[in-house]
Homo-oligomer: A and B are copies of this chain.
Amino acid sequence: MSIDETHHPALQSWVESANAPETDFPIQNLPFCVFRRGEAPPRVGTRIGDEILEVTGLSTLKTVMALSRKALAELRLLLSRTLRADNPDPPKHLIHPIYECELMLPVEIGDYTDFFASIFHATNTGRIYRPANPLPPNYKYIPLAYHGRASSIVVSGTPIRRPEGQLYDGTPPPAVGSSRRVDYEGEVGCFIGLGNALGQPIRMADVEDHLFGLCLLNDWSARDFQRWESQPLGPFLAKSFATTISPWIVTMQALEPFRVPRFSRPLGDPPPLPYLDGEDDRERGGIAITVEV
């Protein structure tokens, strides 16, 4: 992946709202979605300003996610040229106003893994269970994670019912009732497109070939249930009543201009084990993302 003409900051679109300086959806972004307008069947689209451009011939994003990196770059170029202000034949019949569209879960999710990616979050959580030694001893060596319930991932805006479960105040038996401590977590979701065969690892240098795009994610949590249920097997019902994701998948291509150098390893931290140390990552850096809640 590299910066190409689709990232040029001066590009403008014939969709006027995409040229507003405050928009999150300029022609340089072009995130994918799946939407429905009226009684029509769901279709793949890309967001441009306050509109959705229907990507014709596609009813599911699975096809797009399975494309090679090269084909994805070509598709992005095609969408960019289609939407540019200098397109002599703009396909206005493929444009749908966002307020007339229902946004769907952008893709059927097969599996969902929740990584304990923030050292601050891991330390804060650890303090509840192990005040003297909050950060687990494995934290700096192995990516800690657990599988979540894929079937309760819904699109942002879906009404969420406050879950019922066991409320334990330290004296058995636990009471049963609605969670009093429903919490949210601002996270980034990563969509894995191309998979691997069972038993065939993916080398760090090839990771980006498998990463299709990112979205915002709210990992809803019932903290009272979580504290009672999560030892020894980890969070379960406290997390699986709902996970909401943004309807927009921002592609890795769109994020290429936001590369920053990789952080230096904090003093005293062990070096990453060789199989987790991406040379590519060292050279190309990471992507700077600020999540606001």
**Chain A: residues with CB nearer than 8 A to chain B?**
110-111, 113, 116, 125-126, 129, 136-138, 141-142, 144-152, 154, 158, 160-161, 163-164, 166, 168, 172-174, 176, 195, 198-199, 201, 228-236, 240-242, 270, 273-275
Contacts and interface: CB of A to CB of B under 8 A. Distances in A.
Question: What are the 8 tightest A-B residue pairs by CB atom distance, in nearest-first order?
Answer: A234-B234, A161-B199, A147-B147, A233-B234, A146-B233, A111-B151, A142-B166, A146-B234
A150 B110 contact: yes
Given A129-B232, A147-B147, A168 B198 contact: no
Contact of A174 (B151, B198, B229, B273): B273
B199 A150 contact: no
- Copies of this chain present in the complex amount to 2
A215 B253 CA distance: 44
B198 A147 contact: no
Given A138-B168, A176-B275, 19 more contacts: A110-B110, A111-B150, A126-B232, A138-B231, A141-B173, A146-B146, A147-B147, A152-B198, A154-B198, A160-B199, A163-B199, A164-B201, A173-B270, A176-B273, A176-B274, A199-B241, A231-B232, A232-B234, A233-B234
A228 B152 CA distance: 29
A161 B196 CA distance: 14
A3 B19 CA distance: 70
